[in-house]
Structure 1
Amino acid sequence: MDKIITTQEIRFKDMDTASEWARKSVTVADALGLMNGMPDKTFRPKSYATRAEAVAVVKRLMKLLDIF
């Protein structure tokens, strides 16, 4: 993950509440379109993901990898 560079800015209002170790991964997942955040422009990094949210991320990843 350290070698991945993205020019996308953090667009989530609550990103400062995310753990330091997770921020780059969240930014990359957002840049790849795997995670979109909430309608209120937050990411809610301390909340649990629902099954539906997890499935959506896996489905987007499979599409990105062209295996679905």
Structure 2
Amino acid sequence: MVGSAVRELLLVIAVAAVGLLLATAVTFAPWPVTPGGSAPSGLVELRGPAPTEHTGSASG
């Protein structure tokens, strides 16, 4: 009974360790390149919605 519990706990720890190793490998792996060459790097351009005209008051 105790041996079974220890074996199951070791299995859970091993699976967690493999998951952490895979996550670390994916994190530090190079990004895939596009077929025409490497993709340009840069910041994403953020745009807000176009301003709208308010022709009335919400308070009524």
Same fold judged by TM-score > 0.5?
Answer: no
TM-score by length of 1: 0.26
TM-score by length of 2: 0.29
Which one has more relative contact order, counting CA pairs under 8 Å at least 6 apart?
Answer: 1
Greater Rg, structure 1 or structure 2? 2
